[in-house]
Structure 1
């Protein structure tokens, strides 16, 4: 009997992910409201010339909404307010470079759409000082305090610096990635950390200014966040994402931003593949 129940449950999950229609309450409104903070290029940002909202997350969200026959309304709110806004119903989903972390799954569900990782970088003029990641031991490194990077960097330091008798990484929480870059240019930081998906764009935007050091020291999925009370909406977006993958539109969006290396080859919910 238990095996039969588990099999039925798995079938329900798979069928739910195949449902193409929006739940009636969202279809009637004619839109879904998505939280976004446009300060994380190339994922989300405003064109300096036109102030138009742009980025991979924006293109992907618009494409998903179009497939579902609705509109997506972007609600610009602070990153720290996204989860409370989702839980109170102010927004319907979060699509803003948010990592799918186990702790966040306690109050949210995620439809994962790409991979990411925390990446060290320095000013180009100091690149010669940092040949290996452990060269950051004892150095002052900045990263957005609103992200998981400070905790991840501290964990990396414990395992790769302190555990080997080297001085600890000095983690500085900044107001965002732009603030970290400003402090790096001012010489107040030895290095900085950003998501690996953002650095190729940054190096293109400001040539000869920064240098990437090594490879990402973490690996995580980025996901579209949904409330625990909205599984039907979650599954509708998962199905739409699969449709975009199958049609090639998903790949086209990632190619546009030079991030094909971050693509997934299957739809995932909370880090698990959906069949």
Structure 2
């Protein structure tokens, strides 16, 4: 057989082998998906109020951001469909436990406290940032000089819990706390002087301030936490499949591409741990 023909046939054999290997890999991942989700749609609940993380796109109503893109990428690896719905954050975790959603996704910090009620698949690391009125009238520089000020955060958020810890550490020096239903509602309180400092998710903070030039972002990121998507404690099959899908997204390089597209390469966390939060 001529050398050129042998080389061409050899190349075709290698290509066929690669195609088989790829299809087997995809089949292996789809085999991890629990039967109840095969041919069905996995429902994802989110609170789409974090610019860049997940928010509602003006004009289209689509929920967009780094987390939706990651969720769709994982779904493609698993051969499933996901449907993302927007709900109030303070009711999201209860909705997950009640079975109204299969997955909770809202910049959720993986904490030991939350692990008592749900499981996490972790996919990035982010802390909180502090927003103040333009000009920083109270001269805030970080958590170390917040005592005596009125602090705010979104209800049920880890940012609010961190502010609670700060206030407790202030001891006898009164440091009031204000909890709001949403972050945008809390930012309005900064404008009226009812709140001196508002704590928000670090990834979403620049977007909030960009949209509201009357506010200012304090330099620095504080209290970094592992973050991920949540699953009911008894839904270990979907949890484990999601972890495998996420690992495949990371290994393929698509994870890096998604973070880069949203300007968030600095939050990368590639261990894809289950319940990796230790705080």
TM-score normalised per structure 2 = 0.82
**Where does the alignment leave 5 or more consecutive residues of structure 1 unmatched?**
1-18
Aligned counterparts, 1:239-258, within 5 A: 239-258=244-263
CA distance in 1, matches of 2:211, 2:262: 13
Deviation per residue, 1:151-181 (Å, 9 max, x gap): 221212333x33xx7x243211112110111
Structure 1 pair 24–152 and aligned structure 2 pair: CA distance change class (3 A) = same
- Aligned residue among 97, 114, 117 for 1:107: 117
- Please name the residue that 1:47 is paired with: 57
Q: Retained in 1: the 8 A contact 2:124–2:270?
A: no
- Please name the residue that 1:12 is paired with: none
- Aligned residue among 76, 83, 86 for 1:66: 76
CA distance in 1, matches of 2:43, 2:273: 22
Q: What SS does the corresponding residue of 2:163 show, helix, strand or coil? A: helix
Structure with larger Rg = 2
CA distance in 2, matches of 1:128, 1:43: 29
Moved more, 49-58 or 212-221: 212-221
Runs of 4+ in 1 over 6 A off after TM superposition: none
Alpha-carbon RMSD = 2.1
Q: What SS does the corresponding residue of 1:90 show, helix, strand or coil? A: coil
Structure 1 pair 110–132 and aligned structure 2 pair: CA distance change class (3 A) = closer
**Where does the alignment leave 5 or more consecutive residues of structure 2 unmatched?**
1-27
Q: What SS does the corresponding residue of 2:119 show, helix, strand or coil? A: strand
Aligned counterparts, 1:1-80, within 5 A: 20-21=29-30, 22-29=33-40, 31-80=41-90
Q: How many aligned positions are there?
A: 249
- Aligned residue among 229, 235, 240 for 1:230: 235
CA distance in 2, matches of 1:272, 1:173: 24
- Please name the residue that 1:6 is paired with: none
TM-score normalised per structure 1 = 0.83
